[in-house]
Structure 1
Amino acid sequence: MLWGVFAQPAWRLSKPPWPGGWRRRFWGWLNAVFNKVDYERIQAVGPDRAASEWLLRCGALVRYRGYEKWQQDYNGLPTGPLGKYKIEAIDATDSCIMYRGFDYLDGLEHVAEIKLQKCIYIQDECLQRLSETKNLQKSLLQLKIISCGNVTDKGIIALHKLMNLEYLYLSDLPGIRKKETTVHMLQQALPNLELELDLE
């Protein structure tokens, strides 16, 4: 089994001394492996445990409902009855989560907060997928998107389907070119949304 290696996020592993192009392809491949959805695993251990494994494998943190501590150690994931630990918050700062792993979010029913910061693989399709996830449309209250260079106006506008979203923070997103139009469309769709911007 390779899980001894894959249990650690890609950015924690020492990089091989290969030329730049080969190195980029290797890390792209490894991150894609981390994001591959294991549907049998979801069935076996439940959506929250499987999603926790995915997120921590990719370098993200999770916090469970009823707990204050952030879980960051893959090997220290709590054990107990299936379904005991429900993900309430996700901090994906500097993580390698990407679109292909987002099926792990489908079964999560209690996620109220998500932070996407310096996520190099997060793009418009990811935000669109996030906003179309039925459970997140009900549960998600706070979303922060910071320094994700591949996000554009299209991705932000797609968030209008998150009907219960109460707070949205957007910062350092150079792909947003039509700030006024984008903000206006969001505010029309989500009149109760508190929108905080730190955009140039």
Structure 2
Amino acid sequence: MMLFGKISWKFCSLKKLPWSYDSRPFWGWLNAVFNKYIMVDYECIRDVVPDRVASEWLLCCGAMVQSHGQDRWQKDYNHLPKSPLGKYKIQTIDATDSCIMNIGCDHLEGLQHLEKIQLSKCHYIEDSCLEKLGQFENLQKSILEMEITFCGNVTYKGIVALQHLRNLKQLLLHDLPGVKEKEKIVQVFETSLPSLNLKLDLK
């Protein structure tokens, strides 16, 4: 049984519609409401089914998840396996073109098996979200790879917060117009994560 009930994919897809610069405030408001609609149940995240809670939030926001031992990606909230709820452990998140934002990132706190996150064209991802990811103890242990590309609201402050992901092995940063301090980033990660494979193409 779904924790949040059946969701209309047509509603989930609203964020995919073409939008002009003038309509940006409206879509920002709508996506913020949508992130809040999937309420953060901290008891479920800590003690019950953290991977299920995170999967439902991510898929509702347009992201995809892949679980350990599974070849295929989960893309549709309504097609998530109904049981057992605690069986599937998220290994990879592909949030390309999704509407995830900081107010919903608490859903990721309980994940213990997440190894890779891809954030591409995530217009609502800001430094506060990356800082939050760097603070979650479970993610500090599990995350091995991250890709952050075409995210215009990310700056140096958010990138260097990832140094707290102490097992991070690969970090790809590409086309981030808000990040200018390439040399400083290299210095930070050379000191904090000397074994990190850091790839920068910041434009």
Q: Specify the TM-score bucket, using the shorter chain as the normaliser.
A: 0.7 to 0.9
| Residue matched to 1:185 | 188
3-state secondary structure, aligned to 1:71: coil
Q: Which of these residues, 72, 75, 79, is aligned with residue 78 of structure 2?
A: 75
CA contact (8 A) 2:149 2:176 kept: yes
2:181 corresponds to 1:171: no
- Name the count of aligned residue pairs: 197
1:127 to 127, 130, 135: 130
User: 1:40: how far off?
Assistant: 5.8
Q: Deviations over 1:135-154 (max 9, x none)?
A: 11111000000010011111
**Aligned equivalents of 1:44, 1:193: Cα separation in 2:** 32
1:130 aligned counterpart, secondary structure = helix
Q: With structure 2 as the length reference, what TM-score do the two structures score?
A: 0.86
Q: Which of 107, 113, 118 is the equivalent residue of 2:116?
A: 113
Q: Does the aligned pair in 1 maintain the 2:116–2:143 contact within 8 Å?
A: yes
Q: Is the 8 A contact 2:31 2:99 kept in 1?
A: no
Structure 1 residues 4, 114: CA separation in 2 closer, same or farther (over 3 Å shift)?
closer
Question: Percent of counterpart pairs with the same letter?
Answer: 49
Residue number in structure 2 paired with 1:145: 148
Partner of 1:10: 14
1:25 to 1:154, Cα distance in 2 relative to 1, 3 A: closer
SS at match of 2:123: coil
| Aligned 8 A contact 1:145 1:171 in 2 | yes
Give the CA deviation at 1:57: 0.3
Correspondence for 1:91: 94
Aligned-CA RMSD value: 2.6
Task: Give 1:162's aligned residue.
Answer: 165
C-alpha distance in 1 between matches for 2:28 and 2:176 = 25
| Cα distance, 1:91 vs structure 2 | 0.3
Partner secondary structure for residue 138 of structure 2: helix
1:40-51 equivalences in 2 (<5 Å): 42=45, 46-51=49-54
In the TM superposition, what is the alpha-carbon distance from 1:5 to its structure 2 partner?
3.6
Distance 1:151 1:21 in 2: 17
- Aligned-partner residue type, residue 84 of structure 1: K
Measure, in 2, the Cα distance between the counterparts of 1:171 and 1:34: 31
Moved more, 172-181 or 3-12: 3-12
Offset of residue 32 of structure 1: 3.6
